[in-house]
Amino acid sequence: MEILSALTVLDVRSLLLGVAVFLVVFRFLRRPRNLPPGPWGWPFLGNLPQLTWYGGELHENISKLTARYGKVVSVNLAGISMVVLHGHDTVKEAFSRQELSERPPAYMTQKVAPGRGFLSSSGESWIEIRRFTMAVLKKLGVGKSAFEQNIVTEAEMFIEEVQSHGGKAFDPKHAMSNAVSNIICTVVFGRRFQYTDPAFEQLLKVVHEFVLQVGAGSVFEFSPVFNKLTMLPFVRTYVACLRSTFDHINLLMKEHSKEKSADHQEDLLDIFLSEKKIKEQHGVENAALRPENLKHIVRDVFGAGSETTATTLLWGMLYMMAYPEVQVRVQKELDDVTGRNRLPRIADKPELPYTEAVLCEIHRLETIVPLSVPHASTEDTTIAGYNIPKGTTIMANIWHNHFDPLVWEEPEKFRPERFLDGENKFRPREELMPFGSGRRSCLGEQLAKMELFVFFTYLLHHFTIKKPDHVPAVSCEGKYGIMWVPLKFDICATVRE
Ligand code: HEM
């Protein structure tokens, strides 16, 4: 009897062991062959501990893997198997292809607010949303000189705000975010807000909070693991930020639908609603114009279009304090072209090659979206000879490309001259890709370039900016959330003669 029960226990154990071995072997055999190489990972967390917990930034740590694994590296971040591309040629080739230009599922956002925007759409709905938004921006004159006046208005308000500090030390972040966000408000809501407007202040606060709170590479958003672990404090914070952003956008959209003030300009919301009406009258279905999509489009355009440009301008101020000789050269170039009696205009840009080179060098050294925004493959395909199964998340390590010593001589150095030719004319470099590359590249690139040019030239035409005396040295250190942002700093801005 005892022998029989011992045998039964043994049989059950053997059976379980057999099943476990079978599952491991089956999984191994089913694994697609010739995947891009990469380091081993922990169960559930994958390579997250190696890449984020032991110091260094995620984009730098992934970049280090290229020494061992080459330009196309597989990593797993909390259940997301992703392939990270390095080298501008690899990124350019891959992102020009339709099957590598979609987005992975945005689990968290869909949980909080179902609907499609730029971050959460692929295929036909993305094509429609992008086409619609591009048409709106074109209609509003964005990217053309007609829109310049809106930017100039905000730049002038910003200059006034800076001047109000009378040369004393202050943190420019708040005024900068207000000014740049107001330009997007003109596009989306047809109006600018007073810096002290409570609804506007709240919106900026939640967007800023969102940027600060979200961990490296928007991992929570696209992770099927964290998506289920909503009891974890940092996931709870992320969800709360998402909720709060959508609540504020809903509030501003409700305000917008009330009676318009006399100075109201046509905006994205107006065009969305009127296009929707026309399409409905003609019985045409349009994936972009579903009511639930509107708040997503607004959130994505607002989120992508405000903090990005403001952050680049903050980096610009830091570099001008850290490299006063570069600041003097920009100011001289501005004075030579515009004199002291008028302000620079976008039409002056071709005559300001050094200023343009400085802006490019800031984009390169402080790549504010170091790992770009995740893409996904929509079919089995290949990159650089490796198999890429359908549904793989693909990231581009833009930061790595901007520091590639084979492309940039002494890449760690701030050297705007690398964007000038032998005759000191502006020399664009295709290896510089702060706005991404290909079909899914930044929709707001033209707008951002106009804003950066106007704000940067206005600032340096009006003021000389210096580090406050109490600060021992200018630090160009940053912090990585969704974006690479400078640590808090103060400036002193003295009015130029
Ligand atoms: C310095 C400023 C900016 C930088 C560095 C920047 C950078 C980027 C990058 C790297 C991407 C991802 C590209 C990809 O997925 O491959 C992106 C996407 C996007 N950006 Fe920008 N951006 C900036 C300003 C703006 C502005 C002002 C707007 C406002 C209209 C904007 C709207 C968007 C949108 C809507 C997308 C998503 C495009 C899509 O999925 O089709 N961005 N941006």
State residue 81's pLDDT score: 86
Q: What is the DSSP letter of 53?
A: I
How far, in whole angstroms, is CA 380 from its chain's centroid? 27
Which range, of 4-8, 124-128, 270-274, 436-440, averages the lowest pLDDT?
A: 4-8
> Ligand 1: does its nearest atom lie under 6 Å from the Cβ of 448?
yes
Q: How far is CA 250 from CA 19, 257, 307, in A?
A: 52, 11, 20
Distance in Å, CA 473 to ligand 1 centroid: 32
> Ligand 1: does its nearest atom lie under 6 Å from the Cβ of 373?
yes
Q: Which residues contact 440 (CB under 8 A, 6 or more apart)?
A: 95, 101, 103, 373, 375
Query: How many Cα atoms occupy the beta-carbon half-sphere of 113 within 13 Å?
Result: 26
CA-proximal residue: ligand 1, atom 18 (nearest): 442
State residue 257's pLDDT score: 79
Backbone phi and psi for residue 164, each to the nearest 5 degrees, phi listed first: -65, -15
> Ligand 1: does its nearest atom lie under 6 Å from the Cβ of 128?
no
Question: Which of 396, 390, 386, 362 is closest to 376 using CA atoms?
Answer: 390
Q: Could you give all domains of the chain from N- to C-terminal order, each with its CATH number?
A: 31-495 (1.10.630.10)
Looking at the CA of residue 375, tell me the nearest atom of ligand 1: 15
Sign of CA dihedral 168, 169, 170, 176: positive
Looking at the CA of residue 368, tell me the nearest atom of ligand 1: 5
Question: Which of 368, 447, 458, 456 is closest to 183 using CA atoms?
Answer: 447
> Ligand 1: does its nearest atom lie under 6 Å from the Cβ of 312?
yes
Distance in Å, CA 62 to ligand 1 centroid: 22
- Is the per-residue pLDDT at 9 higher than 90? no
CA-proximal residue: ligand 1, atom 20 (nearest): 442
Given ligand 1 and candidates 442, 445, 450, which is best to mutate, with the most ligand atoms within 8 Å of its CB?
442
Identity of the residue numbered 423: E
State residue 74's pLDDT score: 96
ipTM, two decimals: 0.99
Distance in Å, CA 434 to ligand 1 centroid: 9
Residue 11 region, left (φ>0) first, then alpha (ψ -120 to 50), else beta?
alpha
State residue 176's pLDDT score: 94
Quote the CA–CA distance of 482 and 236 in Å, as a whole number.
17
Backbone phi and psi for residue 97, each to the nearest 5 degrees, phi listed first: -95, 135
> Ligand 1: does its nearest atom lie under 6 Å from the Cβ of 125?
no
Confidence of residue 474 (pLDDT cuts 50, 70, 90): confident
Quote the CA–CA distance of 329 and 319 in Å, as a whole number.
13
State residue 412's pLDDT score: 96
Q: What is the DSSP letter of 426?
A: B
> Ligand 1: does its nearest atom lie under 6 Å from the Cβ of 217?
no
Neighbours of 434 (CB within 10 A): 22
Q: Which residues contact 476 (CB under 8 A, 6 or more apart)?
A: 315, 318, 319, 322, 365, 366, 486
State residue 302's pLDDT score: 85
Q: Is 442 annotated as a binding residue?
A: yes
DSSP H helices, 164-290, are 173-189, 198-213, 219-222, 233-257, 268-281
- Is the per-residue pLDDT at 266 higher than 90? no
Quote the CA–CA distance of 332 and 353 in Å, as a whole number.
12
Query: What are 184's two structure tokens?
Result: 């997007």
